[in-house]
Structure 1
Amino acid sequence: MIFTVTFNPSLDYIVGLDSFREGEVNRSEWEHTYPGGKGINVSMVLKNLDIRNIALGFMGGFTGKEIQRRVKEFGCYTDFVKIKAGNSRINVKIKAQKESEINGQGPAISKKELAELFKKMESIVAGDILVLAGSIPAALPEDTYENIMKHLENRGVKIVVDATGELLLRVVKYRPFLIKPNNHELGEMFGKTLKGHDEIVFYAKRLQEMGAQNVLISMAGDGAILVDENGEIHKMKPPKGMVKNSVGAGDSMVAGFIAGYLKNKDLQEAFTMGVATGSASAFSETLATKAEVMTLLEQLK
């Protein structure tokens, strides 16, 4: 089974405007509302690819109920911890001449509620995959990811971590199966501005030396690089298409990698599927569908 964790899920309220005028009343041209959060995105794309999974995390108040309702309506299994204090956050995304975002803080999470999440993880066993995605909200200890990985250590669980900066550096010692920084995040972790594939590969290998098994680096329009656990370096340009929405593309790449890996346990196949799936979401107004992924997969092959 695959489990995803979203500590701070959201309702994403997306508003389209011809133009945004600061300090004035603006009227939307169109509006959409989606459940948001990196782990939830991974779960939804996996569902689109016919991969059964369970979404874990926290939900609070009327917004939390709506997030859970929408994720279930989409066809995903959920097992969220219901929190008592506050509401799950609403993120506002404005699409006009430029894209702007206002992200909510999210509710407080108690020690008891965090312990309840750990209890739910007792059902994770050898052969399962756990995806830890996104930042840790201020309401939780900074070492929450580390504590989860300690909790599951030596159980034969493959852990995927999609996080950035110090948070990612702190968990690589627990040998995650896959980590997925982009090229800018990779450079920031080492205080460098990376120029060219050779430097990207060099610092990806540094993360392997620190414990990571497979390092997948997304590079937007320049494609992606995978430095795998066998020492092989895989590079791929993205398929052709028009970028419509970058939100969720990285999460989709993670979902695609997992789906590709589950097929034959082949890392090259996983990499190709990851690039196709991330690109399919980038070329769509919503998260990638299976048909969109398969079309791009044929182009890449």
Structure 2
Amino acid sequence: MICTVTFNPSLDYIVDVENFRMGLTNRTSAERILPGGKGINVSLVLMNLGIRNTALGFTAGFTGDEIIRRLQEMGVDSDFISVKNGISRINVKLRSIDGTEINGAGPEISPDKVEELMQKLDQLDRGDVLFLAGSIPSSMPDNMYEKIMERLKEKEVMTVVDAAGDLLVKVLKYHPFLVKPNNHELGEIFGVELKTREDVVPYGKKLQEMGAKNVLVSMAGEGAVLIAADGRIYSKPAPRGKLVNSVGAGDSMAAGFMAGWLEKQDYRHAFYMGLAAGSASAFSENLATGKEIQAVYRQVTG
């Protein structure tokens, strides 16, 4: 069983506005509406790679219903918990204005609904995969990731954590199978600036010493670095391609890595699949298809 958790999913309203002017009526030149959230992005990329998984989390109101409907339309299984107070958020993304975004707050999630999610996660067992990605809503305990991993620690579930700051650091004691900070997030943890792939290696190793099994560091155009559980370091520059949309590239990298690992249990292959998936999504208007990922994989390994 493979599950992703998105505590605060969204409908992303992505618009292009030419010659945007403050204080005046502006009209879009292009627009799209997509289900959003880091865990949902992972679910979509896994599905595009032919890997069945279930998206978990919380939804509310008509926007929550639309998130579920769109995921079903896209072929993703979901088992979201419906909450009553509020609506699932709408995030407005103004692509033509330096990536400006207006993100909604999302619904209030009560303790009984949190426990309902925990009971769903109790069904996971040895060899299953759980992706925990993104921030935690203000209505939930800020140690939610810790609570989940504490509850699952005896089950040998392969956990993937894509988070920043203390949210990441505090779960390392539970030995997640994979953590995927970017170089800026890794640098912030240790109070340093990390610009090159060589820079990130000693700090990735520090995360390993703190408990992570595998540390995959995404670095946008610089590529990526994997500090693997077998002691090896894998490093590769980004493949050639035109950056179209960086949203979801990091989530795609985490999904690609785990898809590669589940396929061959080989770190080199998993690393290349992660780099290919992240790059392919960055080169695409939407999250990468399986065909697009395989095309970039051939470039990465060629």
TM-score by length of structure 2 reads: 0.98
Contact 1:19/1:97 (8 A) holds in 2: no
> 1:10 Cα shift?
0.2
Contact 1:56/1:80 (8 A) holds in 2: yes
Residue of structure 2 in register with 1:243 after alignment:
243
Q: Secondary structure at the match of 2:132?
A: strand
Residue of structure 1 in register with 2:207 after alignment:
207
Structure 1: gaps (5+ residues): none
What pairs with 1:98-247 in structure 2 (closer than 5 Å)? 98-247=98-247
- Count of equivalent residues: 301
Residue of structure 1 in register with 2:57 after alignment:
57
> 1:231 Cα shift?
1.2
Contact 2:244/2:284 (8 A) holds in 1: yes
Paired-residue identity, %:
56
Residue of structure 2 in register with 1:19 after alignment:
19
| Paired residue type of 2:91 | N
**Within 2, Cα distance between the matches of 1:19 and 1:176?**
46
Contact 1:54/1:79 (8 A) holds in 2: yes
Residue of structure 2 in register with 1:31 after alignment:
31
Change (3 A) 1:195 1:95: closer
4+ runs deviating over 4 angstroms: none
Contact 1:38/1:133 (8 A) holds in 2: yes
> 1:195 Cα shift?
4.2
| Paired residue type of 1:7 | F
**Within 2, Cα distance between the matches of 1:124 and 1:156?**
9
Q: Which stretch has the larger CA shift, 18-27 or 212-221?
A: 18-27
| Paired residue type of 1:190 | F
Residue of structure 2 in register with 1:287 after alignment:
287
**Within 2, Cα distance between the matches of 1:292 and 1:106?**
33
Q: Secondary structure at the match of 1:123?
A: coil
Give the alignment's Cα RMSD to 1 decimal: 0.8
| Paired residue type of 1:150 | E
Structure 2: gaps (5+ residues): none
Residue of structure 1 in register with 2:260 after alignment:
260
Contact 1:208/1:214 (8 A) holds in 2: yes
| Paired residue type of 1:125 | D
> 1:198 Cα shift?
3.3
**Within 2, Cα distance between the matches of 1:209 and 1:14?**
40
